[in-house]
Amino acid sequence: MRKNYTCIICPRSCALEAEIEDGKLLSVKGNGCRRGAEWLSSEITDPRRTISSSVSVRGGVREIVSVRLTAPVPCDMIFPIMAEIRKVSVKAPVAIGDVVIHDVLSTGSDVIATSCVLANDE
């Protein structure tokens, strides 16, 4: 079976044409580099994505802090992880890289802060 994809690894967004049989990638055309073929192989067998979101902050000069995952997770974990992220709040001060949720839902990925929020009294 032939199927078309767009590589999401870099801004060049190469149009990939894949030949797939029994869930395995037989060949790929259109990739501008080796990373495109590697991404497509994993996209077909174990698709993963990362998440950016925000978490509420208690006692800070801002009410939310931006967060992201430290590693891509299986696509079917995106909504459960978003639900976990919505449940938590952090106490100010928050620094970039602070772990908000360690090993979220046993995926091996942490939720970390990507900005800082000073405490109200600082």
Closer to ligand SF4 by Cβ: residue 12 or 91: 12
State which residue, 36 or 60, has the beta carbon closest to ligand SF4: 36
To ligand SF4, the closest distance from the beta carbon of 31 in angstroms equals 4
Q: Cβ of residue 109: shortest distance to ligand SF4, in angstroms? A: 22
Tell me how far, at minimum, the Cβ of 33 lies from ligand SF4, in Å: 3
Identify which of 17, 22, 23, 24 has the alpha carbon closest to the alpha carbon of residue 2: 17
Q: Among residues 7 and 94, whose Cβ is nearest to ligand SF4?
A: 7
Q: For residue 42, give both structure tokens.
A: 């994993």
Q: Tokens for 120?
A: 């109200």
CB neighbours of 55 closer than 8 A, spacing ≥ 6? 64, 65, 67, 85, 88, 89, 90, 100, 111, 113
What residues make contact with ligand SF4 under the rule CB under 6 A?
A: 7, 9-10, 12-14, 31-33, 35-36
Instruction: Output the residue with the shortest Cβ distance to ligand SF4.
Output: 36
- Residue spans of beta strands (DSSP E) within 30-88: 48-49, 52-58, 64-69, 73-74
- Nearest distance from C-beta of residue 78 to ligand SF4, angstroms: 22
